[in-house]
Amino acid sequence: MPETDATSNSLDMCTLPQELFLMILSHLQPPDVIRCRRVSKSWYDVFGNPSNLIPLLKKWYPLAKEVRELREKTTLNDLGLEGENYYHWQRIFDRVISRYDHLARGQPRSTRKFSLCRDNPEYSSKWFRVPPWDSHGSHLSGRVDFIFKQTFWTYEDGLLVYPSAMHHSLVLLDLDADVTVVVPFPIHNKVIRRVRLQDRLLVIEWAEPNVFHWLNDDDGVHRHFASSFDIRPSEEGWDITFRNEWKIMFLGHPLSERDRFFSSHNNTHYAIYAWQPNRSLYTADEDAPIESLFVWDISQPSSYRPSLDPTGRQKEDEADKGPITIARFGFRDLGFYSVRQRGCPRIVKLDINSEAGTVDITENTCVGLRHRYSNPREWDCKVQTISIPFRGHGPCWKRDAGVLFPAYRGNSGMQPAPLTTSLPWCYTISEASDCQAQVSFCVQLQDLNGFAIDFIRAAQFTTWETAFLAVLNSRSHVIVYWKRYGGAANRIRPPVCLKSERQIPEFCPAWGNTVDAPALEILWVWGFA
């Protein structure tokens, strides 16, 4: 008997009750929900209905930014799914699915390229970055293996500030709204050293192109300044307002590859740490550079610009306060607080705690056997934080940081993010993570000290053989970190090196090849050439 239209419609999945329909959708992969819209018009309507998509969104991606905003909406009626909101939530579903699908495949959703400013003699503008250290205590040998230069762009909470070649100025780009605003900071007749955006406050560190005075026949000192701008949302996009300007170093700073300074700021305070080689002909010592730490209160707006007043006579002390220095620490003070860095620095992070009135200095020191062929997995890092008070007088507070940081390679300045990955810290170059969404990006080295490793969790495989063979296909050796339970043997065992699959039965004759054996746990499987 031929099938009638009524019978075919009754068998259509689109006519099922919503509870049954959602049960079917829960067995699909998230991208397949979007692909099903191509089948027919009726499928497009039902697979694009926000009443069906929002429950899936809450189930699949409960930590996504858009889903977190839905927590205040208890029912679907509160969302207002009629009219334009109907397509609004459909676009949100597609955007979240696309984002996490690209994250799972390690591919960007979109790529945009921006032309950056370069040195322009016509405008007397120059971009001279602060050089990174070439030696650091976070490396076992003391020498930085890979040095990444400082960038002249900065990012925070969807806002990107970069030097635009089109505008020949610094611009603010809202990545979500695709709105560009020019920063009211003329770059002509300036040497830009660093740009940083924190707490919606943009700080630009720059120097004068002309030498203010000479230290010797080769090194000249340039006056350095910092300009800050408040960034606030407005009806047209973003409002960028000049707050104040201050001279960051009293005696200036040479424009050289040996002189370095690192800084940090929040909405109310600014801290700068200067590290300069000792140029004295009589007391020069490579392990005794000139170090200093200054803290400024930058909370008060001021129209006074010290760069336009070399003598300082135009400043009105009472009417226009502006930024003021509230703490100074010389190299003797830094030595007293045990944070003097000397010739091999250890500092990786510089923070300001305005509520506690302290400058928090985090140091990272690599500890291990200094051997040419030492395994990086055997290296350990000692991370400690020293809090120095800048209000009043008091002792410092030194404690273990409780987190790990990547080894210093110059790419993140003094604001690296703590590591959340379980992979070895020494291989990590940088990591950016969204704590609320529990999503992180991690850039790592493939080879270190002659060890090129494949990070493979044994729990991903059903047997040891598949885990070992997966690595042996591309590597000639396998290192296994394992742990045996029971009695006094409940501890991590020394690593075992396997050179072929024939050694697997010799390594585990009593437990077979199952990973889930109760007496043994594979911690890591490493392969190296």
pLDDT the model gives residue 233: 92
pLDDT classification of 426: cutoffs 50, 70, 90: confident
Q: Distance between CA atoms of 95 and 49, rounded to whole angstroms?
A: 15
- Residue 486 in any domain: the answer is yes
| Residue 8 backbone phi and psi in degrees, to 5 | -65, -35
Task: Check whether residue 324 and residue 279 sit in a common domain.
Answer: yes
| Nearest in space to 293 (alpha carbons), one of 364, 223, 356, 347 | 347
Q: Distance between CA atoms of 27 and 25, rounded to whole angstroms?
A: 5
The yes-or-no verdict on residue 54 having pLDDT over 80 is: yes
pLDDT classification of 464: cutoffs 50, 70, 90: very low
How does the average pLDDT of the chain come out, rounded? 79
Task: Check whether residue 242 and residue 152 sit in a common domain.
Answer: yes
Q: Distance between CA atoms of 328 and 293, rounded to whole angstroms?
A: 6
pLDDT the model gives residue 85: 73
Task: Check whether residue 277 and residue 246 sit in a common domain.
Answer: yes
| Nearest in space to 302 (alpha carbons), one of 326, 283, 282, 321 | 321
Written as six digits, the tokens of 48 are 């694009």
Whole-number Cα distances in Å, 96 to 26, 79, 134, 158, 177: 16, 18, 42, 16, 16
Contact by Cβ (8 Å): 187, 169? yes
Q: Distance between CA atoms of 174 and 186, rounded to whole angstroms?
A: 21
Range 150-178 average pLDDT = 92
Written as six digits, the tokens of 251 are 């005696």
Structural domain of 35: 5-104
* Three-class DSSP category at 408: coil
Query: In this predicted model, what pLDDT tens digit does every residue of 1-10 receive, in sequence order?
Result: 455 555 445 5
- Residue 204 in any domain: the answer is yes
Q: Which residue has the tokens 């109310």?
A: 268
Task: Check whether residue 362 and residue 255 sit in a common domain.
Answer: yes
Range 284-312 average pLDDT = 86
Query: In this predicted model, what pLDDT tens digit does every residue of 87-99 receive, in sequence order?
Result: 888 899 999 999 9
In the chain, what is the straight-line distance between the N-terminal and C-terminal CA atoms, in Å? 68
Task: Check whether residue 145 and residue 213 sit in a common domain.
Answer: yes
pLDDT classification of 203: cutoffs 50, 70, 90: very high
Task: Check whether residue 464 and residue 504 sit in a common domain.
Answer: yes
pLDDT the model gives residue 10: 56
Residue 87 belongs to domain with CATH number: 1.20.1280
Which tops the pLDDT comparison, 451 or 445?
445
Contact by Cβ (8 Å): 420, 402? no
pLDDT classification of 74: cutoffs 50, 70, 90: low
Task: Check whether residue 160 and residue 41 sit in a common domain.
Answer: no
Task: Check whether residue 172 and residue 81 sit in a common domain.
Answer: no
Query: In this predicted model, what pLDDT tens digit does every residue of 119-157 receive, in sequence order?
Result: 877 666 789 999 999 999 998 888 888 888 888 999 998
Q: Which of 3-7, 127-131, 364-368, 429-433 has the lowest mean pLDDT?
A: 3-7
Task: Check whether residue 137 and residue 94 sit in a common domain.
Answer: no
Contact by Cβ (8 Å): 243, 296? no
Q: Distance between CA atoms of 493 and 35, rounded to whole angstroms?
A: 49
Query: In this predicted model, what pLDDT tens digit does every residue of 226-275 receive, in sequence order?
Result: 999 999 999 888 999 999 999 998 878 889 888 999 999 999 999 999 99
Task: Check whether residue 496 and residue 395 sit in a common domain.
Answer: no
pTM of the predicted model as reported, rounded to 2 decimal places: 0.78
| Nearest in space to 525 (alpha carbons), one of 450, 485, 469, 486 | 469
Range 167-175 average pLDDT = 93
Residue type, 282: Y
- Residue 83 in any domain: the answer is yes
CA atoms within 13 A on the CB side of 365: 11
The yes-or-no verdict on residue 455 having pLDDT over 70 is: no
pLDDT the model gives residue 78: 60
Whole-number Cα distances in Å, 291 to 128, 306, 332, 412: 21, 24, 9, 21
Number of domains within the chain: 3
